[in-house]
Chain A
Amino acid sequence: MIRVLTRHIVTPLGGNLAANWEALLAGQSALRRYEGNASLPEPYVASKFDDRTPLPGHTLFETWVVRALRDALAQTAVDTASPRTLFILSSTKGNISLLETDSATEAALLPVAAANIARSVGFTSEPLVVSNACISGVAAQVIAMRLLQAGSCDTAVIAGADVQDRFIISGFQSFKALAPEPCRPFDAARQGLNAGEAVAVMVLQNVPDNEVAETDWVLLRGAVRNDANHISGPSRTGEGSYQALQSILEDVNTEALAFVNAHGTATPYNDEMEAKAITRAGLQNVPVNGYKGYYGHTMGAAGLLETILSQQAVDCHTVVGTRGFETAGVSLPLRLSAAHHPTGRQAFVKLLSGFGGCNAAVLWARKGAIPELLPRGMEPKPGLPRLREIATFSLSDTSLTELYRSCVGDYPKFYKMDPLCRLGFIASELLLRKAARSGQEPAPAVILFSRAGSLCDDLRYQATIKPDSFFPSPAIFVYTLPNIVTGEICIRNGWNTESSMFLLPRKDWNRMLSVVRAAMMDAHASRVLCGWVDAPDEDRFEADLRLLQKDFFDYTDFQIRIHNGSIETTAQIPDHRGSQPRRSQA
């Protein structure tokens, strides 16, 4: 079973879980109004830390994460130096404020921040960064669960955080997504979200069932699904969120659920979308709540913070009230309440959705509640699938616009994309063309890896928020999330499958395939479009993609080949054990 070993949160409401819980029960909110700030002309409401002093040798972002990790791990016997301990960092923008000084582009990259944090805390294995927009904190739980189940690590230490400064706040202002008041999730008068700062840490281990106590928290299931609809607007039918819910709710007795902790950002579209997804999934009789009225939207921390608070709430037999909610403002009836309520149930569902059309859902229960929650028993432990290669495609340093004109030509949205999306889009189009499809194949999951992520676009956006020329561009801001490229590919192809973006310090197929194989333990994923997309600047980039399929034959691992430069395809037929790949040059 995947069990929580320890958990820790630090927010403007309190330095640990107990202090936060006390504040929450008292109905306190960390949301404050900020104005008169030279670098952000418009006032805004947010939940921010007062102490903004970094540790020597660290940025503010790294400082918060290092401190929270040290505090969390101090209570445990976790061996940070063990190669079997994996550090997973969940963040949308990490050290982005470093871009305000011209020379700091390298230090602004999330894999660099993760390495700095790992060094200070004493982790020796290479960190994994989940940068899947607002779902990162739940997506990180899902990948940790799978990597633990796959035996890739013994302990997963997940930390989530974001610093709310000029870059993110101005971007959401340009999207007209920020409320001028403390946000009001699911309310008829809701006007948008508030940004929030928090750090959250969760340590997970895979432990034999008989060693898990009845009161321990167990991560039972998780799913990530794409809307395949729009890169910023949620699906009007809640498609991706519904499909993620459907995946985690199979054979679940919903009467055993204490609540659904929604994303509940308080934007008009998000909350309406969630109401549809929750209702479509058959959860209309389960209480629904959201914590953004206490903490704002804490971005990379949100999934972890809100999951940990939900566990605490169940431990204290409470359904936390949705602060800011008064009158229902969604088109379907949900069991919402501003007041706290008692509950005797010991399981919950956590939902998140984000830019790029991504949605995530996890199912958590205390071990003692599992028989009631899953009356037909837990599914057998999923096996790690073997993968068969359908096609590969690689591409570097060529004119993407020329390639688009000569090979695609019918998708004008291409011109709106940032370099990372253009690269991923073109490479995926040409990869799929090489795969010689019949049209009947199942839609693949899209799991991509990068180092520079959205750096090109981050710099373009930074140029629109100069102090002397402050015109933040929403069309540029949206691409500052590295996972948008996975959303563009899902939208183009109409795929409601998993879409995930991970950041690594370098292209390493062994590392990427360990994550991909673990992700393919999701029964829904029988194919995956995966690989490396990296565009550190507009003229220097590399894509190296593979289309892989679960191999149902007994078959040895295929050989990893590194491709450079031009177009190359490889077909491999799983006819007998140990068959050699058959290669054809394009």
Chain B
Amino acid sequence: MKQQLKSQIIEALNLVDLKPEDIQDDAPLFGEGLGLDSIDALELIMLMEKNYGIRLSNPAEGKAIFRSVGVMAEYISQNHTK
């Protein structure tokens, strides 16, 4: 699941020079981690909706969920609808 999620993140955010194994499970995605920005956060919201049927109506919720791949995978496993 984490492996698959990493591939999906790399594809959705065009992180061309990264491989799934370059992303640590607990490394921060934003800020110092992968250097993602606000548009990436919105794109991750769409990724969850498209691939896992999870709708976040309040984008502010994303901040906690997108802390790391590990946290995101945990949230998806508890909330996915597809």
Residues of A participating in the B interface, judged by any CB pair closer than 8 Å = 174-176, 230-233, 412, 415-416, 471-475, 478
Contacts and interface: CB of A to CB of B under 8 A. Distances in A.
Interface residues of B, number: 18
Interface stretch (B24-32, B34-42, B68-76): B34-42
A111 B16 CA distance: 34
A34 B40 CA distance: 28
B44 to A, nearest CB: 10
B43 A230 contact: no
A47 B74 CA distance: 41
The CB with the most chain A CB atoms within 10 A, among B39, B45, B49, is that of B39
Contacts of B35: 412
B42 A474 contact: yes
Contact of A412 (B15, B43, B46, B59): B15
B59 A475 contact: no
A471 B46 contact: yes
A471 B45 CA distance: 10
The CB with the most chain B CB atoms within 10 A, among A174, A230, A478, is that of A174
A474 B15 contact: no
A478 B46 CA distance: 14
Nearest to A416: B14
Contacts of A473: 43, 46
19 contacts: A175-B42, A176-B42, A176-B59, A230-B37, A233-B37, A412-B17, A412-B35, A415-B14, A415-B17, A416-B14, A471-B46, A472-B46, A473-B43, A473-B46, A474-B42, A474-B46, A475-B39, A475-B40, A475-B42
Interface in B8-23: 12-17
Nearest to A176: B59
Given A174-B46, A412-B17, A415-B15, A474 B39 contact: yes
Chain A at the B interface: SS class: loop
A231 B14 CA distance: 16
Given A412-B17, A471-B46, 18 more contacts: A176-B59, A231-B39, A232-B39, A233-B37, A233-B38, A412-B15, A415-B14, A415-B15, A416-B13, A416-B14, A472-B46, A473-B46, A474-B39, A474-B43, A474-B46, A475-B13, A475-B39, A475-B42
Nearest to B37: A230
Contacts of B16: 412, 415
Contacts of A175: 42
Contacts of A472: 46
A162 to B, nearest CB: 22
Nearest to B47: A471
Nearest to B17: A412
Contacts of B80: none
Contacts of A174: 42, 46
A415 B14 CA distance: 6
Interface string B42-72: 1101100110000000010000000000000
Contacts of B43: 473-475
A303 to B, nearest CB: 25
Nearest to A475: B43
Nearest to A471: B50
A63 B42 CA distance: 35
A534 to B, nearest CB: 23
Contacts of A231: 39
The CB with the most chain A CB atoms within 10 A, among B12, B35, B43, B49, is that of B43
Given A412-B17, A415-B15, A478 B39 contact: yes
B10 to A, nearest CB: 10
A174 B43 CA distance: 8
Contacts of B40: 475
Nearest to B57: A176
A174 B15 CA distance: 20
The CB with the most chain B CB atoms within 10 A, among A176, A231, A232, A412, is that of A176
Nearest to B58: A176
Nearest to B59: A176
Contacts of A233: 37-38
Nearest to A175: B42
A97 to B, nearest CB: 22
A198 to B, nearest CB: 27
A175 B37 CA distance: 13
A174 B50 CA distance: 12
Which 5 pairs of residues, A with B, have the shortest CB-CB distance? A474-B42, A415-B16, A415-B14, A176-B59, A471-B50
A161 B32 CA distance: 41
A365 B13 CA distance: 47
B77 to A, nearest CB: 21
Contacts of B46: 174, 471-474
B39 A471 contact: no
Nearest to B41: A474
A43 to B, nearest CB: 12
Nearest to B43: A475
